[in-house]
Amino acid sequence: MRIVVLGGGLSPERDVSKKSASLIANALIRKGHSVALIDLYEGIENDEPVDYLFKRGADEFTYEIPEEEPDLNELIREHGGRKEWLGPRVIEICKACDCVFVGLHGSHGEDGRMQAVLEAFGIRYTGCGYTGSVIAMDKDLSKRLIHGAGYKTAKWFTAYGSEIAYDRCVNEIGLPFVVKPIGCGSSCGVSIVHSEDEFDAAMAFAERYEQRIIIEQYIKGREITVSILNGKALPITEIIPHEGFYDYKNKYQSGLTTHVCPAELGGVNTERAKKIAEEEFDLLRMSAYGRIDMMFDGEDFWFIEANNLPGMTNTSLLPEAAAKAGIEYEDLCEMIAMKAGKKKHE
């Protein structure tokens, strides 16, 4: 097949996406496909023929994730101040392929907007449709649906930064509490507040993303994630950061976090967690593949958030879980791409 892999973009998760997209492109080339790797924001600014952009048997693409999140304002300055998130010739190139592998994370790529654009042009693509993407990316909306359906989720409220005071957080949620933007992934903008001394810095960190903010009860327990592929749960992973919590640095710098897969939950709890995750995945109108992140307090499984375009890096959770189920990375990427050619989205 001729496949466009979209990565990068104008998102705080740009670097994670570039890493994922590079590895996906390499995997698909190794499986014999013709692949073009395109940055959603940068696009292609020359008039090179589209056919020349697709590579077979080429040198491997490489990208390493820096420890710090990207400076998007600097990126915009480097491109003459252009703020449009859809780069030059992106749609032209996507129309020339059999399917688009959406290797994006964060805004534009994960919140349904890119999926809607692709559907408008009749272009096949991987992952959730635009409906599931919108729901999963909006942490407040997804929690409302999960809570309304009777599943466990941490107590929370959502407001603009100017409406959030420390006393309100303590009175409504209690200590400690989690502060995070409503529509970011990869733990961008996330902090855990244990005392008033930590509050201002946590709010400033979250407000950098210019979104509403969730203040959420901190659930003490074991952090687990259930990867879903074609509606079925893969082996469960427990996430154990060596220091602090599972933040941006711990997620993407090798050696800072231990992943235990399959998680040692016991047979009954393992089946409970898988069943809950599959039901929540379906409830949120997710499809193809994704993850449901939970906390396990020893008795109950608490929904934290859904991830409709999980990372595909060498430290990412879904590829690790797939490998435990006997699905090698190259086969996983090809399976996802092949499904896109047959799937009707919402």
User: What DSSP string runs through 59-109?
Assistant: PPP-----SSPP-HHHHHHHTTT---SS-TTHHHHHTTSSEEEE---STTT
For residue 194, give the amino acid letter.
H
Same domain for 263 and 144? yes
Instruction: Please tell me the predicted confidence (pLDDT) of residue 62.
Output: 85
Tally of domains within the chain = 3
For residue 239, give the amino acid letter.
I
The band of 246, judged by pLDDT with boundaries at 50, 70 and 90, is very low
Q: Above 90 in pLDDT, residue 293?
A: yes
Of 225, 310, 219, which is closest to residue 262 (Cα–Cα)?
225
pTM for this entry: 0.89
Same domain for 234 and 279? yes
Calculate mean pLDDT across residues 286-301.
96
Instruction: Please tell me the predicted confidence (pLDDT) of residue 8.
Output: 94
Same domain for 142 and 272? yes
272 vs 289: CA distance, rounded Å: 19
The band of 243, judged by pLDDT with boundaries at 50, 70 and 90, is low
Which of 192, 217, 242 is a domain's end point?
Answer: 217
In 212-259, alpha helices (H): 248-252
Q: Above 70 in pLDDT, residue 185?
A: no
Which of 217, 234, 256 is a domain's end point?
Answer: 217
164 vs 168: CA distance, rounded Å: 7
CA angle, corner 339, sides to 112 and 1, nearest 5? 105
The band of 255, judged by pLDDT with boundaries at 50, 70 and 90, is low
- Active-site residues: which are they? 13, 186, 252, 291, 293, 305, 307, 311
**197 contacts: CB under 8 Å, gap ≥ 6:** none
Same domain for 42 and 188? no
Ramachandran class of 10: left when φ > 0, alpha when ψ lies in -120 to 50, beta otherwise = beta
Q: Above 70 in pLDDT, residue 192?
A: yes
Q: Which residue has the tokens 């060596």?
A: 242
What are phi and psi for residue 289, nearest 5 degrees? -155, 160
Percent of the chain with pLDDT over 70: 92
Residue 32 covered by a domain: yes
**Residue 162: Cβ-neighbour burial (10 angstroms; 0-12, 13-18, 19+):** exposed
186 vs 69: CA distance, rounded Å: 10
Q: Above 50 in pLDDT, residue 247?
A: no
- For 41, 44, 70, 113, the CA distances from 76, given in Å and listed in that order, are 9, 15, 11, 20
Q: Above 90 in pLDDT, residue 210?
A: no
Provide the domain limits for residue 285.
Answer: 136-152+221-325
Are 37 and 5 spatial neighbours (Cβ–Cβ below 8 Å)?
yes
Q: List, in sequence order, every residue forming a beta bridge with 179; answer none if it has no partner.
A: 191, 215
Same domain for 50 and 66? yes
Are 91 and 45 spatial neighbours (Cβ–Cβ below 8 Å)?
no
The band of 344, judged by pLDDT with boundaries at 50, 70 and 90, is very low
The band of 346, judged by pLDDT with boundaries at 50, 70 and 90, is very low
Calculate mean pLDDT across residues 311-332.
91
